[in-house]
Amino acid sequence: MPETSVNPHLALLPIVLPLAAAAVGLLLLRHRPRAMALLALAAMAGGVWASWSLVSAVNAEGAPVVLHVGGWRAPFGINLVADHLGAMMALMCQSVLLAGVLYARGCRDTCVRFPVFYPLLLTLAAGLTGAMLTGDLFNFFVFAELVVISGTVLTACSDHRGGVEAAYKYFYIALVAAMALLLANGCLYAEYGTLNMADLAARIADRPDAPLAGVALGLLLVSLGIKCAAVPFHFWQPDFHTTSPTAVSAMLSSVVVKLGVYGLIRVSMLLFPHADSVSPLLVGAGVAGVAVGGLGAVGTHDLKRMLAYSTLAQIGFMLVAVGWKSGPAIAAALVFAINHALVKAAMLMLAGAVASRAPVKSASFEVVAGVGRALPGAGVLFLLGGMALAGLPPMNGFVSKLGVFRAGVDQAAWLALGALAVGSLCTFVYVARSFQRVWWESPEAAVHAKPYGDSLAAPLLLITASLALGVAPQPLLSFASDTAAWLADPAVYIDASLKGTP
């Protein structure tokens, strides 16, 4: 394998830029929200650039970019490993968070004007990206905690009255996840004497039947299941994603839940590729998620909450594909993840933009019905976003759904496919109903809509991205299938990560 020619510190930039911006912003710009927003925007733009460079580097070199932090070689020090998967996920997170910061800038919530808002959004970005790039399981835990604490506080300071309660419940359940993850770390360290993921993978492959391996795997699945709101670990999600400030809920429901999906891919492809007991669990949880999320979205009475439920269903699609484990399935899950990240963030922002123009600030259908008539542009975006969620061309959602279905047909997994098809039907129902309620119904309501509200720039960017990736999907598809091919061979990750270690 050729030595990568890029400076491996590139892998650190998407983490450190937002973190440093958060610290500096907290120090110097606490009372200058506009300057703080600009700083955040600049940091995220830098992060996007860095992660884009990572993706191109990984793509060009065909090898992971590995940074041994502080110069201490893995497994003794911590290393960051930007392989295909990590780099792709980092780029996804950074791009969506850039849009999130952009949305927050043009948003009329009270809470975005507090000095800690942008710093917390930035630490959220740092934690998320760090967790997806780190090559060390304990470091993953620490980054995940950064995500949890940032998300909790951001939700607690929401304008929504339910924010505190939702944050409290989420925090408790996240503690269960943290405990499970920590205990899994403990078990693995006790059995294998290392926490570096590459090293662990190699050692687990040597000795897969160690007494605590099963417990560790189970605990990892539980904790990652909580992180991605897999049914039945999802209870915190609808409240949490509904009550947090729009700019934040758009991040939570799009990229933050992907942390769990990412982790599950790592666990099933790198750490425990031979454990047959994982696949049925993932497929089962995915199908349950499709059912619970789809029906929940049909049954709920709030636009934001509907989108939160819809995330459960979409995560279900991804889990099913991850559970199938074949190359096309993993590639489809990744494309699906990216589509969902872009679209769900955009749709929540649109819901927020509509709610911000409603007479009472709320996303309840009773309040927002007809308000969309004052916002035809948002209607077009919402319709396109809805098409993407429902998997209709020309959006990227079609490409993702097609990929998942194809993988399913290859596996002859008819039962799961049937569930996914019914789930798709639910998607049509709730997307069309919500669109009609907000943009078509109650023509008189439009009269009462406020003339000003949250800016639509960020959702416009995100929807455009999804459209572009739907019309010209080939670059994404080929990168995703490369990713799946690399993931299928853990040795690539292990060798790159431990290269040069005595």
Residue 266 Cα to chain centre, angstroms: 15
Q: Which residues of 16-54 are buried (b: 16+ CB within 10 A; e: fewer)?
A: bbbbbbbeebbeebeeebeebbbbbbebbebbbebbbbb
Q: How far apart are CA 207 and CA 186, in angstroms?
A: 17
Closest CB 85 distance from another protein, rounded Å: 17
Give whichever of 77 and 359 is closer to another protein, judged by the CB atom.
77
Q: How far is the CB of 72 from another protein (least distance, A)?
A: 5
Nearer to another protein, 458 or 466 (CB): 466
Specify the residue, 163 or 458, whose C-beta has the smaller distance to another protein.
163
Cβ proximity to another protein, 374 vs 387, nearer residue: 387
Closer residue to another protein (CB): 312 or 458: 312
Selection from 186, 162, 282, 271 nearest residue 233 by Cα: 282
Which CB sits closer to another protein, 9 or 450? 9
Rounded to a whole number of angstroms, the minimum distance from the CB of residue 71 to another protein is 4
CA atoms of 83 and 15, how far apart (whole Å)? 16
Q: Which of 137, 431, 126 is nearest to 255 (CA)?
A: 126
Residues in Cβ contact with 142 at an 8 Å cutoff, skipping those fewer than 6 apart: none
Give the separation between CA 355 and CA 84, rounded to whole angstroms. Answer: 38
Question: What distance in Å separates the CA atoms of residue 62 and residue 4, rounded to the nearest whole number?
Answer: 9
Task: Of 149, 341, 180, give the one whose Cα is nearest residue 262.
Answer: 341
Shortest Å, Cβ 270 to another protein: 17
Minimum CB–partner distance for residue 309 and another protein (Å): 8
The span from the CA of 388 to the CA of 329, in Å, is 19
- CB of residue 344 to another protein, shortest distance in Å: 19
For residues 173 and 256, which CB has a smaller minimum distance to another protein in the complex?
173
Give the shortest CB-424-to-another protein separation in angstroms. Answer: 5
- Give Cβ neighbours of residue 502 (< 8 Å, ≥ 6 apart): none
Nearer Cβ to another protein, position 103 or 138? 138
How many other CB atoms are found less than 10 A from the CB of residue 116? 18
Residue with tokens 């091919």: 485
The kind and range of the H/E element at 66 are strand 65-68
Min dist CB 401 to another protein, Å, is: 8
H or E element at residue 39: helix 33-61
> What b/e readout covers 415-444, taking b as 16+ CB neighbours within 10 angstroms?
ebbebbeebbebbeebbeebbebbbebbee
Residue 427's closest CA among 341, 306, 249?
Answer: 306
Residue 221 beta carbon to another protein: minimum distance, rounded to whole angstroms? 5
Q: Which pair of tokens denotes residue 223?
A: 């904790």
Residue closer to another protein (CB basis): 438 or 458: 438
- At its nearest, how many Å lie between another protein and the CB of residue 298? 4
Residues found in the chain: 502
Nearer to another protein, 275 or 457 (CB): 275
Smallest gap from residue 106 Cβ to another protein (A) = 19
Rounded CA gap, 390 and 388, in Å? 5
- The distance of closest approach from Cβ of residue 320 to another protein in the complex, given in angstroms and rounded to an integer, is 14
Nearer CB in complex with another protein: 368/458: 368
Rounded distance between C-alpha atoms, residue 58 and residue 205, angstroms: 26
Burial string for 156-179 (b: 16+ CB within 10 Å, else e) reads bbbebeebeebbbebbebbeebbe
8-state DSSP, 158? -
Choose between 325 and 458: whose C-beta lies nearer to another protein: 325
